[in-house]
Chain A
Amino acid sequence: MAADFFLLRWKSEGLRCPDHEIKLLESGDNPRGVTLIQMPNGTGKTTTLSLLRATLSGDAVEWTNTHLQSFRKRQSSATSGRFLVEGVFDGKRLTIILELDFEEGKASYSTTVGSGKKTGFLPPRGLHRFLNRDFVRLFVFDGEEAARLLDHKYTNAHDAIDNLFQLKFFDGIEQHIRDYWAEQTSQATALAGKGLTQRRNRVDQLQLQLKTCEAAYALAQAERDRAQDQLNKKTRKFDQQLKKRRNYHEALQLAETALADAKTVVQQQAQKLLTRIRDPFALSAKTAADLLALRANLDRVKLPESTSREFFDELAGEEECVCGRPLTQECKTHILSHASRYLGTEDVVFLNTMKSDIATMMGTDPAAHANELQGATRQLLEHMRDEDLAWTNRDSVRSKAVDDDPALKKIVAEIAELQASADKSAAEVEKYENTDESEENICGIAVLKKRLSEAERKVAEITHTLDLKEKRDVLVAIVQAAQKAARTAISEQTVNEANERIQTLMPMNRVRISAINKCLVLEDQEGGSMGETLSVAYAFLATFFNSADNRFPFVVDSPAGAIDLEIRARIAELVPRLTSQFIAFTISSERQGFCDHFLAKRSGTQYFTLFRKGDTTLERKARATKGSAETEDGLLVPGAKFFREFQLESE
C-alpha cells in the first residue's frame, strides 16, 4: 500500500512558541509546493519543529515531566497547551492533537480520521508504521543535523527503508513463525538431536525385545499345549490299560472315590473355618472378654446418648467455660440448644449397633467362641490327615498295579516326563504373561508393548519437535534472506534514482551516493565540499520520501544554515523540485542565497513571518499588512514583501 501524505495546517496554542496557525493550502485541499516560514531566533523555531515531530510520532507520552515543562509558555498561567496538525492521507483528512497538561505533567493525544474522533494516537493503518520517532525525524528534518545522515550513529536508513517499503512486515512474520514454534513445542520435554537418538535406540531395542519374546511365547504355548495334549493321551492310555486289570481297576476306583470324598470334606471344613475366623471374638478369648467389657462400660457411662448431653447440661450450669471465659446467659442458652450436635446421629447409630452386635453374637461366655474355633481347627486337621491317607491309599493301589505291569510302568514314566515338560512350558508361558510393571520384568508381552508404545510416543514427540524446528529455521532463514535481498534491491533502486536526479538537476555536483548501508554512503566522500555533500543528502531524502509509490512532506528547519552562500542557491533550486511539499523554517540570515532564490522567482511559494510581540514598530507594520493574524504573544504575517523586509535588531 503506497502512502500519500501531506500537511494542510498546524496550530499552536498555550505553548512556548507564539500561538499561531500555519495554513499550507494553495486552493481546495491542494498543498502549496513550497512554504517558507521566517521565525527570528527566540521565536520558538526549534519548539515548533519538536512539537510537529511529537504530534506526528506520538512519542510525547514518553516525555519526562521536565522535558514536557520545557514547552510551557513563559510567564503564562495557562495550565495546558495544544498542538494540532491536520493533513491528508490517501485522500482522507487526518487530524492529530497533542495536549500537554502542565499541572499533571502528562501528554495525551486525540486523532480524527474523517469525522470520527478518538482518544489516543491512532493514525490510520497504512500510515501508522511511518508515524514513529525515527521515521518522522527524517521528513521533519533539522537542517543543522544534516551531516548526521552520513553518520550511522544517528541514522538508521535500513529502518527507514523497511518502514517506507513495508519490509518491516518481514520482521513481524519472522516473529510469528518463532511464536508458532514456541507454542507448538511448549509441551515437548527434549529438543536435542541426542535425545532423539537415545529415544530411537530405545524403541529399536524394545521392538527387538518384543519380537523375540513374542516368538518365544508362541513356542512356549505350543510346547505347553503339545505336552498337555500328550499328557492327556498318556493318562487316558494309562486308564485304559489299568481297566484291563480288573482287580486293580476296582480297587483304584474305590481309592479314588475315597480320595474325592476326603477332598470334599477338607474343602467344606476349611470353608467353615474361614467363615469363623472372621469373627474377632472367636480368634481369642481375651478379645471376646474385652469386647464384652467395652459394651458393659458403654452402658455404665450411658453412651452414646446421655453422657454428651449431660456434659453440656452441666457445662451450661457453670459460671465459666472450660477455656476459662465467663459464660453469659446468652452463651448458656446457645450451648444447650446446640449440645446435641456434638454427638451426631451416625455416631449414635454406630455405637448402638456395635453394642447390639456384641450382645446378640457373643452371648455372655467370652471363651465359648474361641473354644469352638479351636475345635473346628482340630477337625480340619483330622480331615486333612484323612485326605492324606486317601492319597496314600490311591497311590498304593496304582503302584501295585504298575509294579505288576511293565507296560503301565512305562506309561507312568512317560506321564512323569510329560508332566515335567508340561510344567516347564507352562512356567515359560507364565513368564511371558507376567504383567508386573517393574523393570525386572523383561519378558512380559503386555508390559513390553506398553513400554514400546510409550517410547514411540516420545520419539514421535521429539520427531515432531525437530521437524517443526527445522521448518522454523528454514522459514526464518527465508524471511531474513528475502528481507535483506528486497532491502538491497530497493536501496540500489533508490540510490540510482537519486543519483539520476542529481545528475539531471545538478550536473556540476561531483558527489554521488554510493550505497545505503545503515547511513548514507557517498562516493568519494572526502572529495566533495560540505555544500555538495549536503545537497546530495537532501536530494536523497527528498527522493526517498517522494518515490513512485510514496509521497511525504519534507519539513526542514534551517535548510541553509550550515551551507556556504554559493551553495545555498543550489539547494534552494534543488530541494523544492524533488518533493511535492517543501516547508522550511528560516531566519533572516538565510534569506541571502537561499530565500532570495525563491523570492526572485515570485511564484509557487508561500511566505510567512512569525515573530513575538515586543517591537512596536514591527507590530504596527505587521498589523498594517493584509492577512496578518495576531495572537496573545505573536504576529503571523503572510506575504513576500514583509518576509523580505523583515529584520530584527537582534539578528
Chain B
Amino acid sequence: MQNHIETAIKSAVKERGQPADLAKKLTAWMQALSVGNDNIDDIQRAMQRVSIIFETTTTDTKGR
C-alpha cells in the first residue's frame, strides 16, 4: 500500500511540473509519519517540513 502512496505523490508532483525532489520530500514525510518518527500534531516539526517543501516548490510569480 505504501507503494500506492509513493506513486500517487510522484504522479501528482510531476503533473504540476514540480521538481522530483518535492516528491521525495513529501514521500519522506509520509513515511516518517507512517513509521511514527514524526507526529502530525507536532506543529514545530511540521512547520520545519513545510518550510522545506515550500522552498522546493517552484513558481513563476517573481518572474512575471
Given A166-B34, A466-B61, is A493 in contact with B4 using a C-beta cutoff of 8 Å?
Answer: yes
Q: List residues 6-42 of chain B with CB under 8 A from any CB of chain A.
A: 7-9, 11-13, 15-16, 18, 22, 26, 29-30, 33-36, 39-41
Contact of A169 among B13, B33, B57, B62 (CB under 8 A): B33
Q: Which residues of B contact A475 (CB under 8 A)?
A: 53-54, 57
Q: Which residues of B contact A166 (CB under 8 A)?
A: 5, 30, 33-34
Closest beta carbon of chain B to A615's beta carbon, Å: 51
CA distance A521 to B61 in the complex (A): 44
Told that A166-B33, A478-B26 touch, could you supply 4 new A-B pairs with CB distance under 8 A? A172-B46, A176-B40, A482-B8, A482-B9
Determine which residue in A172, A478, A484, A489 has the highest number of CB atoms from chain B within 10 A of its CB, and name it.
Answer: A478
* Chief secondary structure at chain A's binding surface: helix
Q: Which residues of A contact B30 (CB under 8 A)?
A: 166, 169-170, 173
| A478:B4 contact, CB within 8 angstroms | no
Determine which residue in B8, B13, B54, B57 has the highest number of CB atoms from chain A within 10 A of its CB, and name it.
Answer: B8
Chain A 94-125, CB within 8 Å of chain B: the 1/0 string? Answer: 00000000000000000000000000000001
Asked whether any CB of chain B lies closer than 8 Å to the CB of A413, the reply is no
Q: Which residues of A contact B1 (CB under 8 A)?
A: 165, 490, 493, 547-549
CA distance A489 to B40 in the complex (A): 23
CA distance A651 to B18 in the complex (A): 67
Closest beta carbon of chain B to A553's beta carbon, Å: 20
CA distance A467 to B50 in the complex (A): 15
5 A-B pairs in the complex with CB atoms less than 8 angstroms apart:
A165-B1, A177-B50, A474-B59, A478-B16, A493-B1
| B54:A468 contact, CB within 8 angstroms | yes
Contact of A167 among B5, B18, B36 (CB under 8 A): B5
Contact of A1 among B35, B46, B59 (CB under 8 A): B35
| A125:B62 contact, CB within 8 angstroms | no
CA distance A137 to B64 in the complex (A): 53
| A483:B8 contact, CB within 8 angstroms | yes
Asked whether any CB of chain B lies closer than 8 Å to the CB of A485, the reply is yes
Q: Which residues of A contact B51 (CB under 8 A)?
A: 180
Q: Which residues of B contact A177 (CB under 8 A)?
A: 50, 53
CA distance A490 to B41 in the complex (A): 25
Residue of B nearest to A129 (CB): B40
Asked whether any CB of chain B lies closer than 8 Å to the CB of A477, the reply is yes
Q: Which residues of A contact B47 (CB under 8 A)?
A: 176, 179-180, 183
Q: Which residues of B contact A474 (CB under 8 A)?
A: 16, 18, 57, 59
Q: List residues 141-191 of chain A with CB under 8 A from any CB of chain B.
A: 165-167, 169-170, 172-173, 176-177, 179-180, 183
| B16:A125 contact, CB within 8 angstroms | no
CA distance A493 to B47 in the complex (A): 34
Query: Count the A residues whose beta carbon is within 8 Å of the partner chain — how many?
Result: 39
CA distance A149 to B32 in the complex (A): 33
Q: Which residues of A contact B9 (CB under 8 A)?
A: 478, 482, 486
Contact of B57 among A165, A463, A466, A471 (CB under 8 A): A471
Q: Which residues of A contact B40 (CB under 8 A)?
A: 169, 172-173, 176
CA distance A1 to B54 in the complex (A): 26
| B26:A169 contact, CB within 8 angstroms | no
Residue of A nearest to B17 (CB): A474
Closest beta carbon of chain B to A180's beta carbon, Å: 4
Closest beta carbon of chain B to A644's beta carbon, Å: 42
Q: Which residues of B contact A466 (CB under 8 A)?
A: 61
Determine which residue in B16, B36, B47, B54 has the highest number of CB atoms from chain A within 10 A of its CB, and name it.
Answer: B54
Asked whether any CB of chain B lies closer than 8 Å to the CB of A318, the reply is no
Q: List residues 412-465 of chain A with CB under 8 A from any CB of chain B.
A: 463
| B4:A481 contact, CB within 8 angstroms | no
Q: Which residues of B contact A471 (CB under 8 A)?
A: 54, 57, 59
Determine which residue in B16, B35, B41, B43 has the highest number of CB atoms from chain A within 10 A of its CB, and name it.
Answer: B16
Given A470-B59, A474-B57, is A125 in contact with B36 using a C-beta cutoff of 8 Å?
Answer: yes
Q: Which residues of B contact A467 (CB under 8 A)?
A: 59, 61-62
Asked whether any CB of chain B lies closer than 8 Å to the CB of A627, the reply is no
Asked whether any CB of chain B lies closer than 8 Å to the CB of A126, the reply is yes
Given A177-B50, A471-B57, is A463 in contact with B36 using a C-beta cutoff of 8 Å?
Answer: no
| B57:A125 contact, CB within 8 angstroms | no
| B26:A482 contact, CB within 8 angstroms | yes
Residue of B nearest to A485 (CB): B8
Contact of B18 among A179, A463, A478 (CB under 8 A): A478
Given A463-B62, A478-B18, is A485 in contact with B12 using a C-beta cutoff of 8 Å?
Answer: yes
Given A470-B59, A474-B18, A475-B57, is A486 in contact with B8 using a C-beta cutoff of 8 Å?
Answer: yes
Contact of A173 among B8, B15, B26, B36 (CB under 8 A): B26
| A470:B34 contact, CB within 8 angstroms | no
CA distance A483 to B6 in the complex (A): 10
Residue of A nearest to B61 (CB): A467
Q: Which residues of A contact B15 (CB under 8 A)?
A: 481
| B8:A180 contact, CB within 8 angstroms | no
